[in-house]
Amino acid sequence: MTQQSKTVGNGSNNRAALARYAWISIGASILTILLKSLAYLLTNSVGFLSDAVESIVNLVAGFMALAMLTVAARPADEIHAYGHSKAEYFSSTTEGILILVAAGGIITTAVRRFLAPQPLEQLGIGVALSVVASLVNFFAARILLKTGKRENSITLEADAHHLMTDVWTSLGVITGMAIVALTGWQTIDPIVAVLVGLNIIWTAYQLLRRSVAGLMDASLPVKEQKIIMDVMEKFRGKGVVFHSLRTRQSAAQRFLSVHMRAPGTWTLHEAHHVAEDFEHAVRDELPDAVILTDIEPADENALKKDDRESTG
């Protein structure tokens, strides 16, 4: 049995370039912390306080994202032959946990304020400051989300969703403050804070679910597996048969292995070139994929034995 392995770059150069985007999140978080803290001090609103706490979590998450993108940018070495791309999952997992902690703090504070309402002051200025902070977070999140999807970086996507969570938090708080200003119902403030906290918990759950799937070496998405299968179908016309396909995702890096059964009349040289063509065709659709193609003879008994070994 002959094996052919095609190793490509692990995208470390892209990860190094992406690290600078983490500074967008950090800068946005620092600015919004200042604006929202001022809004809280002026109004005494627990809604604005919860908003400020969320931004503090964003700042911590931003530094975590910067650190993990820096680690992910390191090239493969003897100890980490497949690169360091999984470091991104540590960042997204940490962000998910931090979001949960922030949500718990927000809900706890809101319940206390609901039981002991306090008068709010200067709501107009507080709302204006919160609007400015929301715009800062919104534009920063759009930049990070667009880049994260383009470069397949779960770290930047997590940071973007974190910032957008902050935007929704702010919108909920602003709405609550407007109702309080119009009606004088002070209990609306903590009720809005609780609703925002529950929404944040849902966001954290979605983020943690994706992170755990990545750490557990989940297969490539169904859409990408279909792309691979379509490429295989084209090569079957050349007389080869593929089986035992395995795939996994590691942040931006894709890995796949497959057995290619070549006609017995082919030389090893011919089979090798067809395998290379197959790998190039897959990479045309899924750039930077790391592919291991195992070339086999067209022997029925050998194939059955390999199938038993691969499932045993």
Q: Output the DSSP codes for 227-287.
A: HHHHHHHHHHTTT-EEEEEEEEEETTEEEEEEEEEE-TTS-HHHHHHHHHHHHHHHHHHST
Q: Under a CB-based contact definition with an 8 Å cutoff, are residues 241 and 214 in contact?
A: no
Answer yes or no: do 124 and 198 share one domain.
Answer: yes
Answer yes or no: do 157 and 269 share one domain.
Answer: no
Burial class (CB in 10 A: 0-12, 13-18, 19+), 73: buried
In tens, the pLDDT along 22-40 reads 788 888 889 988 998 898 8
The pTM of the whole model exceeds 0.75: no
Q: Which residue segment(s) compose the domain that 32 sits in?
A: 10-215
pLDDT the model gives residue 252: 61
Most confident of 152-156, 161-165, 277-281: 277-281
Answer yes or no: do 97 and 43 share one domain.
Answer: yes
Q: Select from 181, 215, 249 the last residue of a domain.
A: 215
Answer yes or no: do 275 and 135 share one domain.
Answer: no
Answer yes or no: do 307 and 172 share one domain.
Answer: no
Q: Per the structure, how many domains does the chain have?
A: 2
128 found inside a domain: yes
CATH of the domain at 253: 3.30.70.1350
Answer yes or no: do 301 and 169 share one domain.
Answer: no
**What percent of the chain is predicted at pLDDT more than 70?**
81
pLDDT at 312 over 70: no
Distance of CA 8 to the CA centre of its chain: 22
In tens, the pLDDT along 41-66 reads 888 877 777 778 777 777 877 787 77
Answer yes or no: do 202 and 238 share one domain.
Answer: no
In tens, the pLDDT along 83-138 reads 666 666 777 777 778 778 877 877 887 787 777 776 677 778 888 888 898 899 89
Phi, psi of 4 (to 5 degrees): -130, 125
pLDDT the model gives residue 170: 81
Answer yes or no: do 153 and 235 share one domain.
Answer: no
Answer yes or no: do 194 and 255 share one domain.
Answer: no
Token pair in block for residue 123 = 């709501």
Answer yes or no: do 184 and 305 share one domain.
Answer: no
CATH of the domain at 154: 1.20.1510.10
Residue 279 to residue 258: CA distance in whole angstroms: 10
Instruction: Identify the band that residue 10 occupies on the pLDDT scale cut at 50, 70 and 90.
Output: very low
In tens, the pLDDT along 214-249 reads 666 667 888 888 999 999 988 888 888 898 898 887
Q: Select from 215, 240, 261 the last residue of a domain.
A: 215
Q: Select from 215, 236, 253 the last residue of a domain.
A: 215
Answer yes or no: do 209 and 291 share one domain.
Answer: no
Answer yes or no: do 167 and 259 share one domain.
Answer: no
Which residues partner with 214 through β-bridges? none
63 found inside a domain: yes
Token pair in block for residue 163 = 């910032």
